[in-house]
Amino acid sequence: MTNNSSQSGRQPDADYIIVGGGSAGCVLANRLSENGKHKVILLEAGGSDSRFWVKVPIGYGKTFFDARVNWKYQTQNDTGTGNRSMYWPRGKLLGGSSSINAMVYMRGLAHDFDDWSLKGNDGWDYRSVLPYFVKSVDSEFEDSNYHQKGGPLHVTRTHNEVHPLCSHYLEAAKEFGFNVTDDFNGANPEGAGIYSITTRRGFRESTATAFLAPARKRKNLTTITHALVEHIGFEGKQATCVTYKKNNQQHTLYAAREIIVSAGAVNSPGILERSGIGRKDILEQHGITPISINNNVGEHLQDHLAVNYVYQTNVPTLNDQLNSVTGKIKIGINYLLNRRGLLSLSVNQAGGFVKSHQQQPSPNLQLYFNPLSYSSVRTDKRELMKPDPFSAYILSFQPCRPTSRGSIHIGATDAEAQPLITPNYLSTNKDIKEVLEGCQLMRQLVNTPALQQITEKEIEPGDAFSSDEDLINDFRERCGTVFHPVGTCAMGPDAASAVVDSRLRVHGIDGLRVVDASIFPNITSGNTNAPTIMVAEKASDLILEDAL
């Protein structure tokens, strides 16, 4: 890449400036500073991840609405979901959303990445990206073709820790004809199983703890928190500097080699737009001088939607433990003494990838099974320790590869202003069809002997919802995001259809890349944190190759 120092007339502050210390940014900070040859600055709008409820896995219920660590976004009212505005939590601290998420470690399915490659992105097929998944983990699984021990990110098997109710779910899956898999990230990901999570010795494992913390002692890495990036500066088509605000003061840093935007699918397009890269009408609307017109910035937004089906049981569930003072004390003591039990787990204990019908070429639904419920709990705090006052469990699903596309654009030039998030959910017939199939599948699964044995009645949506129209309308009214926004700076071979190329360089601009979930050409079938980490691992190699 071009060295910027001779153009700017100022001594550069670093070789690489990374904008965003989240799931991708922390990985980049580690890998780009690893060889000691390059000076790296990491800018994060939020603060430290050293908080009790960030470290304790079940604490993500506490951080769900905490403005100190959460951007707390709201979407525009969306016709596909009953004209509702949906709440989108996003991490605003070191580690980003990996510091506040539900910790499920899920890479997705092989064809997700093969599809990336088929769209003209050479080197992003599953066989090519698998080594980067493997490189990033310290896994408790043994299959060396898909896992390794000793990598930065610890992945914990929870098979022996989950609630006994999960065995009824797995037996129901078998009775229904689904495969039961031991490893969603191995050779046979299809079927029902127990989720693995990103924890280490009972504490949350984020990219801040796994990647950034070991690197922060390096003299060539500087981390600046509470640094809200306003825009990127250019000389011609060359990105040269980053301007950010901290403590109400404006600062500008210059990069000798590259600026890497890793602010996530919500914030990365806004940074590009405020910097003059985006749709002409958006830039003109806000009086921003165009640097490069690209009609794809902020477009192609994709996300997963899910709905809970809640069932009352005739056997105890986690609800009973959590609604008992004695139960809570036992849970707390177990965690304090052993770092085990409920406080060390995700609420999403089991699930799987399944086909809604056998004619499907690949799994098109992801399932979740939670041995507790919140149907009657309607608060603004998401209190995971305060479930329904009766024994119950949740079955839920999300369509894996929705075809609806939305957008995210700036609502003002002020970096503190909320972006305009327009999900455009359920805007295709295919998505509506898969929603209906998923709703029908929930009831079919519950009708298996294994679940009928423990199930008394359906609480939500309830027997009154029986027709296809009822089920679709119920989904529209009750569904929620699974917090997987991607695609707003999509990767592709040219600027006519994408924002970045296959090396994640912004089309038409030198010295600027985007590295985070916004570059996904299509959403992956499952949870998006693991593939975001993979993207950053691969991007680090691409960046260092280009530095030679």
Percentages (nearest 5) of helix, strand, coil residues in the chain: 30, 25, 45
DSSP calls for 77-123: PBGGGTTBPPEE--B-BTTGGGGTS--B-----HHHHHHHHHTT-TT
Which of the residues 38, 168, 484, 507 is marked catalytic?
484
Query: Distance between CA 149 and CA 145 in Å, rounded?
Result: 12
Q: How far apart are CA 239 and CA 510, in angstroms?
A: 6
Residue at token pair 């309607």: 378
Question: With contact defined as beta carbons under 8 Å apart, do 46 and 94 qualify?
Answer: yes
Q: Which residue type, as a one-letter code, is found at position 36?
A: G
The Cα–Cα gap between 224 and 314 comes to 53
- At 509, list the tokens: 């601009």
Nearest-CA neighbor of 282 among 419, 416, 405, 404?
419
DSSP code, position 162: S
H or E element in which residue 138 lies? strand 137-139
DSSP H or E segment with residue 466: none
How big is the chain by its Cα radius of gyration, in Å? 23
Using CA atoms, how far apart are residues 203 and 209, in angstroms rounded to an integer? 10
Instruction: Please answer whether residues 237 and 510 qualify as being in contact, where contact means their C-beta atoms are separated by less than 8 angstroms.
Output: yes
What's 59's DSSP letter? Answer: G
Number of H helices, E strands in the chain: 17, 24
Query: Would strands 199-200 and 203-204 be described as parallel, antiparallel, or unpaired?
Result: antiparallel
Q: Which of the 8 DSSP states describes residue 143?
A: -
Tokens representing 357 are 């019908």
Instruction: Give the up-direction half-sphere exposure of residue 500: CA atoms within 13 A in the CB hemisphere.
Output: 31
484 is catalytic: yes
Q: 96 and 25 in contact (C-beta within 8 Å)?
A: yes
Tell me the HSE value of 161 on the side-chain side, using a 13 A CA sphere: 24
One-letter amino acid at 537 equals: E
In the block, tokens 């991490």 appear at: 91
Question: What positions carry a catalytic annotation?
Answer: 484
